[in-house]
Structure 1
Amino acid sequence: MGAETAYHGEMGEQFAARAGRSVYNAYTDRPAMLRLAGDVGGLRVLDLGCGAGHYAAAFLERGAGRVVGVDGSESLLRVARERLGERAELHHHDLEEPLAFLAEASFDLAVLALVYHHVDARARLLAEVRRVLRPGGALLVSTTHPTADWNYFGGSYFADDRVSLPFGNDHALTYRRMTLETFLGELLGAGYVLEELAEPRAVEEGRLVDPGKYERTHRSPTFLAVRLRRP
């Protein structure tokens, strides 16, 4: 995430704790993204907006050869370092800025898990990801579902304003609303080829954590996730 939208300080610490057990993060988005990733054995994986390292840890457990995580929050990276140790290479970096420290064609898979809608310089980020992915490499992107945002915030479905979602007692997540047309249009316009689209629902384990939230993900859309290929 960018420096302005990264989860800093106490908010980052709260998010790190919640992401490990949340129905939405741990049992809806993460299983969907891991399914879309498929076999990662031996792959070089770039986790952009890596947060507390939950996705990176999962890729390593599934045999990824190299995992590099990037995040704009030092609070989250501290937790990620505790979780991952020396198994992953972690960088504190603003995703609004170029990924100049990463070499061309140096990754097989890039992941943007619930971070894309936080970034304003999305066209530049997609171009940078394309640069560091090898030809034929895959990009996974998940975001808030446009219909979920419309249902929650109201107004026009076609609004593209920056919205604020309460988080915890004293914090808020801020991100940019976008339509399905905008989301897919940006990805395809950046030269990627769409391979699969999913509207994730919570896996069965999520029912044990919070039955109400589990059922909610099966009644109305929460997230949107895609797998794309770099030609």
Structure 2
Amino acid sequence: MSQNIYDNEIFFIEYMKLRNEKSYNDLLEQPEINKLLPDIKGKTILDIGCGYGHNSLLFAQNGAKKVIGIDISQKMLEVAKKESCHPCIEYRQMDMSEILALTQKFDMVYSSLAFHYAENFQKLIKDVYDLLNKGGYLIYSQEHPIVTATMDCKGHHNLDENGNFVSYTFSDYAKSGQRVGTWFVDGVINYHRSMGEIVSTLAHTGFMITDMIEPTPEAWALEEKPDLMKEFIKPTFLIIKARKSEFSCDC
């Protein structure tokens, strides 16, 4: 089971404060992942790691037939049920390792910044594949492998004598596995895997990768947050869109 750090009281309070400011999610990740969304009218959607439900609500408001949002955090789901409720949405407390307990198929599986918390990536991708209808899409984002690589989670940008970002230092890229770092609190666990491992897992499972995006900021985002310029040195996010074949065998 994944670590349930979002129900840590200190972590939850600090995380929710991010909603009051323009974050990297708002300026980089969400704009790019939204560009990859197919027509969702009349579709069934699974939102893995739905958090406080903002994406689940967006899908429902744009015509999805049914949205199931799952998250391991009770605190996040309490917010989702209060602020992002809709007749077409069902929220469930569930770890992503347990999704095969769901009894229906989906036209799209979506996940924003949750997959790097999955200990068994191969199982997760196979489970997602099995839950998708033929021709269905997996669209997800995660922390970029460059970000997750360094064993002590302390990769860092380097500055020149004028204080400009010039490079990024990281290590341990080829060593897959658990990483433990600090984000609001100590002991936050996620899992690193290389780009090759990610792509090969998707391909060997049967997915056709249609898009792989490493977002860089657009002009409007740089106006909001000028230090996003360092994203041209090292990307923070990886976004993947993959499709299950129309002719795949579900036997």
TM-score (ref. length: structure 2): 0.80
1:84 & 1:116 partners in 2: Cα distance?
22
Deviations 1:100-153 (Å, cap 9, x if unpaired)?
1332xx211101221111111322222221222110000012122122334753
Aligned equivalent of 2:90: 89
1:52 Cα deviation after fit: 1.4
CA distance 1:18–1:107, change in 2 (3 Å):
same
User: Are 1:223 and 2:237 matched, yes or no?
Assistant: yes
Q: 1:204 to 1:92 in 2, by over 3 A?
A: farther
| Residue 234 of structure 2 is aligned to residue 199 of structure 1 | no
Structure 1: which 5+ runs fail to align? Answer: none
Is the 8 Å Cα contact of residues 44 and 108 (structure 2) preserved in structure 1? yes
Letter in 1 for 2:68: V
Instruction: Give me the CA root mean square deviation.
Output: 2.3
Instruction: Please name the residue that 1:35 is paired with.
Output: 35
| Counterparts in 2 of 1:208 and 1:80: CA distance versus 1, 3 Å | farther
- Whether 1:210 and 2:210 are equivalent positions in the alignment is no
Aligned partner of 1:132 in structure 2 is 131
Q: Structure 1 residues 20, 76: closer, same or farther in 2, change over 3 A?
A: farther
Range 83-92 or range 174-183, more displaced: 83-92
Between structure 1 and structure 2, the one with the greater Rg is 2
Residue type of the alignment partner of 1:42: G
* Distance in 2 separating the partners of 1:230 and 1:13: 38
Instruction: Check conservation: 1:23, 1:209, Cα contact below 8 A.
Output: no
TM-score (normalised: structure 1)? 0.86
**1:115 alignment partner AA:** A
Q: Give, in whole Å, the separation in 1 of the partners of 2:120 and 2:19.
A: 25
CA 1:166–1:202: 2 relative to 1, 3 Å: farther
- SS of the residue corresponding to residue 41 of structure 2 reads coil
TM-superposed deviation, 1:20: 6.6
SS of 1:188's equivalent in the other structure is helix
Give the distance between the partners of 2:44 and 2:20, measured in 1 at CA: 24
User: Structure 1: how far apart are the matches of 2:146 and 2:85?
Assistant: 38
Aligned residues: 226
Q: Which amino acid aligns with 2:127?
A: E
Structure 2 stretches of 5 or more lacking a match? 156-169, 246-251
Amino acid at match of 1:217: E
Residues 93 and 41 (structure 1), Cα distance of their counterparts in 2 relative to 1, 3 Å cut: same
| Structure 2 match to 1:100 | 101
**Structure 2 residue corresponding to 1:162, chosen from 169, 178, 183:** 178
Distance between the aligned counterparts of 1:205 and 1:60, measured in 2? 28
| C-alpha separation in 1, matches of 2:222 and 2:101 | 42
In the aligned structure 2, how far is the partner of 1:20 from the partner of 1:183?
A: 33
Judge which range, 77-86 or 159-168, deviates more: 159-168
Taking the aligned partners of 2:17 and 2:8, their CA distance within structure 1 comes to: 13
Q: Could you say if the C-alpha distance between residues 34 and 21 of structure 1 is closer, same or farther in structure 2, counting changes exceeding 3 Å? A: farther
**CA deviation after TM superposition for structure 1 residue 90, in Å:** 0.4
Alpha-carbon distance, 1:21 to partner: 4.0
Residues in 1 aligned to 2:84 and 2:190: alpha-carbon distance in whole angstroms: 28
Partners of 1:61 and 1:219 lie apart in 2 by 37
Identity %: 24
